[in-house]
Structure 1
Amino acid sequence: MIPDIKELSIELHDVEEAVADAIKYANKLGVSASECAISRSSGINVGTRLGEVETVEFNQDGALGITVFRGQQKGSASTTDLTAKAIRAAVEKANDIARFTSPDPYAGLAPAELMATEIPDLDLCHPADQSAEFALEQALACEQHALQLDPRIVNSDGAGYSSHVGYRVYGNSHGFVAGYLQSRHSLSCALIAKSGDAMQRDYSYTVARNRDDLWSPEYVAKDAVDATISRLDSKKIATAKVPIIFRADVANSLFGHLVAGISGGSLYRKSSFLVDHLGKQVLPEWLTITERPHLAGALASSPFDHEGLATRDREIVADGILQTYLLTSYSARKLNMQPTGHAGGIHTWEVNTQVDDLAALCKQMGTGLLVTELMGQGVNIVNGDYSRGAAGFWIENGEIQYPVEEITIAGNLKDMLQNIVAIAGDVDMRHGVRTGSVLLEEMRIAGV
């Protein structure tokens, strides 16, 4: 059961026409501006545990949202029913709501001159088999293989497979209406290992637009086994200040805090540790971050943002200097600036690297902590204070000595970002921020 790409394209065209009709109807009601969007996805999620089927879910979700402006008054409504009658009713509801809302001088559409004029094909949609039989075959094969690889794997937290395909359409009264198809597939496995009376849990996963780009069930299984076994016989370490490596699969979270710090909503509320840092140094001089929204097949690629603004390659940070904030049209007006095409989030960040791989980064660090898991939400974006539970490995003379658990790492984000020493080439492609493992000069560890 593979969704037909031709049928999806026809449905996308029909929805684009429905969005255009909603905008036309809003105009007839005398609104000053309007916008309409719909994201729809359909697919399957399955879960297995110890060879038994736990969940099989087919789902289809998505709704059309309409926003109208009467001057600076704004009203919004939504509907999951895409018939002409239901869409018109939603437009009328939004119009009625707008009559009673308070004027907001910053409300309105993004500038017409910044709308996307070309919609490139970014190779984002690859429909795949969505039958329960195939999905369960993938999850069961992964878990079964994992349970046979090492006798220390004594239990499973389950395996899961998902496959979804859908589209996003956006239109507004500037005359912009466009959409694109997209897909997403994933496979995961979580395991439990035992040594003596102690147990450890870890997992592995793979995700891609194209199912052919997923790791095989056997590879995911082995990766999950290796990760879980490596955590056995974990120790606690003494409180200290030491260099720290964020492994690639957790390092993206470090740059995720940078995203939050330079996002318009945090900036105009003065609730960011990077207020007034545009044009200033936020990273080491050797470090550059480039946004690449049109990378074919990438998970965070998009031809336009959620306001219809054209996305384009841009340097976020160049030689350590912050080049741009991340602004929607609303936050841009609040800050008296231009929107940057980031309504809905970032579009594939590439972080430059210095060191070949994680092993070389550990050699460079010498002695310190390799963090492989972060826990808790102890991050204050307002002042940059950072404190999170962590687990990982203690490194001496550039080599892993033993696993570590039940510790807390702490610092301040501004210092952490500026004190990045090096980044390895072991880039994790499963995130919107593509970065390798990151070595920080020093952080505080709260241990025993």
Structure 2
Amino acid sequence: MNNLPDSDLRFSYPISTLQQIAGDILKQAEKGGATSCETNVSDGFGQTVTVRHNEVETIEYNRDKGLSVTVYIGQKRGHASTSDFSPQAISDTVAAALSIARYTADDDCAGLADVELLAKDYPNLNLYFPWQIGVEEAIELAKRCEHSGFTANKLVANSEGATVAVSESQFIYANSLGFMGGYPLSRHSISCAMIAEQGDSKQRDYWYSVVRDAADLETVESIGRKAGERSAARLGARKIDTCEVPVLFEAPIAAGLIGHFASAISGNNLYRKSSFLIDSIGQQVFTPDIQILELPHVHKGLASGPFDDDGVATLDRHVVENGIVQGYFLGSYSARKLGMRTTGNAGGTHNLIMKNSAPLPFNDLLKQMGTGLLVTELLGHGINPVTGDYSRGASGFWVKNGVVSHPVEEITIAGNLKDMFRGIVAIGDDIIVRGSKQCGSVLIDRMTVAGG
């Protein structure tokens, strides 16, 4: 487990107390008539400092705790939760879950994970790094970050602020099959948003860094500088005529394409028939050069975890091999609904990485594209999960003969995700890790760009 010597001193409760609460819940559920039970008990805290125009705008500090109880009476399921850890509140929550279960219909897919799939001797993935930073130090970092944004370009005239955030938590998951496990986690970030002005034109952009270990954060000067440079670069944006051209998704937003794919092959969407990739195992969805890996055991990984929300052990997987789908993302319930076996994805995916055999530097991607659109921001959520139709507002830069020509705005890019996946012709080596999906910039051979 990821227990560090000072972790208990940082939280409201030692992790042994969370274990005791979880054990008590299981006993009470069994005594109340549950045939099986699972529970998650957690607590954590956060500190957020925001500076704007070199003045402190907000200082926030939070402590949170909560527990959830899921009981099964045969194939009937009941769920209840509370943020009160008093013995009476815990007893009332268990009783509420049992009462709900007695009045629900049987569900032949309900129940705990199969016992043989539960994690046993799981690895320490180094997911907890306490950041011993006081408010004064956080304020100073935020001021330096914002100052770097203002000095990045003379056209940067305003700020939406710079923020330094600390978040630490711990949890215990336990079920009546004898599984009990958990560990502390950390997630720290620094962000900055700047506004550039020229005449009547104003443009905003931002940059941020998020990590488990604060020692791995980008420098505040780099974050502020990038926010300022990006906002200034957008000045003078114009509309373009409607056309069909290659589209290059910049790395920070390209990871969203993996997210659309992951959603389409996730169990909940598949058994509800709300996916454009139903029955896609063994199908060529991407070009043969594309691989998508799931790597849940990456040390310090933002989406790493030795077991999923069902307690099932996670494993490295080749989700897409040579463009062909090898498997879905399933928890125990969705797997049963589909007549399949869980993949350890109850609660979500773990470090999905899309790559090809020859990732290119960003400038080489521009050259390969020739003339087309570089997208740096997406707006709206115009995606049909059943058909795969894709239509979103966008802004970015027009590229001519492999060179950035001018910024563009008030445009819409449209296509179908099936065609877009098959149309990925190159991937960049400029990976930016900010969450559970990772890839470099992605070049798609052709999309419709609707201008003004």
TM-score between the two structures when normalised by the length of structure 1:
0.97
CA distance in 2, matches of 1:344, 1:16: 21
- Report the CA distance between 1:8 and its aligned residue: 5.2
Corresponding residue SS for 1:99: helix
Matched letter for residue 380 of structure 1: N
- Report the CA distance between 1:327 and its aligned residue: 0.9
Matches for 1:34-433 after TM superposition, within 5 Å: 34-353=37-356, 354-433=358-437
Q: CA contact under 8 A between 2:319 and 2:326: conserved in structure 1? A: yes
Q: CA contact under 8 A between 2:21 and 2:41: conserved in structure 1? A: no
- Report the CA distance between 1:26 and its aligned residue: 1.2
Alignment root-mean-square deviation, CA: 1.6
Matched letter for residue 434 of structure 2: R
Corresponding residue SS for 1:42: strand
Deviations 1:140-171 (A, max 9, x none): 22112222332211110111111011112211
Q: CA contact under 8 A between 2:151 and 2:225: conserved in structure 1? A: no
Matched letter for residue 302 of structure 2: L
Higher mean Cα deviation, 134-143 or 376-385?
134-143
Number of residue pairs matched by the alignment: 447
CA distance in 1, matches of 2:144, 2:122: 39
CA distance in 2, matches of 1:41, 1:140: 27
Q: CA contact under 8 A between 2:309 and 2:347: conserved in structure 1? A: yes
Matched letter for residue 124 of structure 2: D
- Report the CA distance between 1:6 and its aligned residue: 4.7
Higher mean Cα deviation, 283-292 or 76-85?
76-85
- Report the CA distance between 1:95 and its aligned residue: 1.1
CA distance in 2, matches of 1:150, 1:352: 34
What residue ranges of structure 1 are gaps of 5+ in the alignment?
A: none
- Report the CA distance between 1:33 and its aligned residue: 0.8
Question: Given the alignment of the two structures, is residue 441 of structure 1 paired with residue 430 of structure 2, yes or no?
Answer: no
CA distance in 2, matches of 1:60, 1:256: 30
Q: CA contact under 8 A between 2:378 and 2:393: conserved in structure 1? A: yes
CA distance in 2, matches of 1:236, 1:50: 32
- Report the CA distance between 1:130 and its aligned residue: 4.3
What residue ranges of structure 2 are gaps of 5+ in the alignment?
A: none
Q: CA contact under 8 A between 1:355 and 1:361: conserved in structure 2? A: no
- Report the CA distance between 1:332 and its aligned residue: 0.9
Matched letter for residue 240 of structure 2: I
Partner of 1:5: 7
CA distance in 2, matches of 1:162, 1:305: 26
Deviations 1:159-190 (A, max 9, x none): 11110111122111110000011001001110
CA distance in 2, matches of 1:181, 1:272: 35
Q: CA contact under 8 A between 1:43 and 1:130: conserved in structure 2? A: no
- Report the CA distance between 1:360 and its aligned residue: 0.9
Higher mean Cα deviation, 282-291 or 122-131?
122-131
Matched letter for residue 9 of structure 2: E
Corresponding residue SS for 1:124: coil
Deviations 1:284-312 (A, max 9, x none): 11111111100000101011111101011
Q: Among residues 28, 31, 34, which one is paired with 1:28 in the alignment? A: 31
Deviations 1:343-401 (A, max 9, x none): 11110012124233111111111111111100011011111000000011111121111
CA distance in 2, matches of 1:8, 1:199: 43
Corresponding residue SS for 2:187: strand
Report percent identity of matched pairs: 46
Higher mean Cα deviation, 35-44 or 268-277?
35-44
CA distance in 1, matches of 2:360, 2:20: 50
Corresponding residue SS for 1:229: helix
CA distance in 1, matches of 2:31, 2:9: 32
